């Protein structure tokens, strides 16, 4: 079984913001997997699916970003899922808008949601799909930037990135993380 968590903040005021890139990818993935019912479980909205012979639990933590780890810890403990079977999708200000990067493990890189997950799981050995939202423009407050919404051409780039990230998740499940990482990360460098 895999737990696939998209990070974001609950509530209408945060919908479609850069910081909710993880929620957006989970929505695209749920549509592809035909997940039609969501339960409030493990401090999250949770949907179940099957893909490539694997049971999947899709999560959108409802704890706010800084406490995302509480939701993942609850689900991982309940289903007895180890960190190597947890996949987390988050926004990344260090990647250009629309770019993707996949990692098998690592640090939080300054991302409070990832920090919370590492702290709660006691491990950074989970798969990450990072969706680039671009760096904040000069003079902008970081919080204002990530809680803002992309517009025009940037919004189109982000929509494509959400769809590409959902495809990357399916590729990880089908082909494995190493092959997908090589394919996606190499494409992103070119």
DSSP-assigned states of every residue in 13-45:
GGTT-GGGHHHHHHHHHHHHTT----EEETTEE
Joined together, the tokens standing for residue 183 give 């394919």
- pTM of the full structure: 0.95
* Structure confidence at residue 188 (pLDDT): 64
Residue pLDDT, tens place only, 96-140: 999 999 999 999 999 999 999 999 999 999 999 999 999 888 888
Residue 190 has pLDDT above 70, yes or no: no
Amino acid 139: pLDDT: 86
- Active-site annotation holds for 19: yes
Q: Judge whether residue 38 has pLDDT over 70.
A: yes
Phi, psi of 182 (to 5 degrees): -60, -45
Q: In the chain, what percentage of residues exceed pLDDT 90?
A: 89
Q: At what angle do helices 152-175 and 177-189 cross, to 10 degrees?
A: 150
Give the residue numbers of the binding site: 14, 64, 66, 112
Average pLDDT of span 59-70 = 97
Domains detected in the chain? 2-189 (3.40.50.1470)
- Can you read off the two tokens belonging to residue 32? 């592809």
Kindly state the average pLDDT of the residues 135-161. 91
Chain centroid to CA 186: 20
* Contact of 29 with 44, CB cutoff 8 Å: no
| Average pLDDT over all residues of the chain | 95
Q: pLDDT tier at 189 (50, 70, 90 boundaries)?
A: low
pLDDT given for residue 69 in this prediction: 98
pLDDT at 181 over 60: yes
Query: What is the DSSP code (8-state) at residue 105?
Result: S
Residue set of the binding site for tRNA: 14, 64, 66, 112
């Amino acid at each position: 079984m895999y737990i696939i968590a998209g990070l974001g903040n609950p509530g209408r005021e945060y919908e479609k913001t850069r910081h909710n890139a993880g929620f957006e990818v989970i929505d695209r993935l749920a549509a592809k997997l035909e997940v039609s019912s969501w339960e409030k479980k493990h401090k999250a909205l949770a949907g179940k699916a099957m893909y490539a012979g694997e049971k999947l639990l899709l999560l959108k933590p409802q704890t706010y970003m800084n406490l995302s780890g509480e939701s993942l810890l609850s689900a991982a403990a309940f289903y007895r899922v180890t960190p190597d079977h947890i996949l987390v999708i988050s926004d990344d200000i260090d990647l250009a808008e629309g770019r993707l990067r996949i990692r098998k493990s690592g640090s939080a890189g300054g991302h409070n949601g990832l920090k919370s997950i590492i702290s709660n799981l006691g491990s950074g050995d989970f798969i990450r799909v990072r969706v680039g939202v671009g760096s904040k423009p000069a003079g902008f407050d970081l919080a204002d930037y990530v809680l803002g919404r992309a517009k025009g051409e940037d919004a189109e780039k982000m929509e494509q990135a959400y769809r590409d990230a959902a495809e990357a998740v399916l590729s990880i499940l089908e082909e494995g993380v190493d092959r997908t990482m090589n394919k996606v990360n190499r494409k992103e460098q070119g």
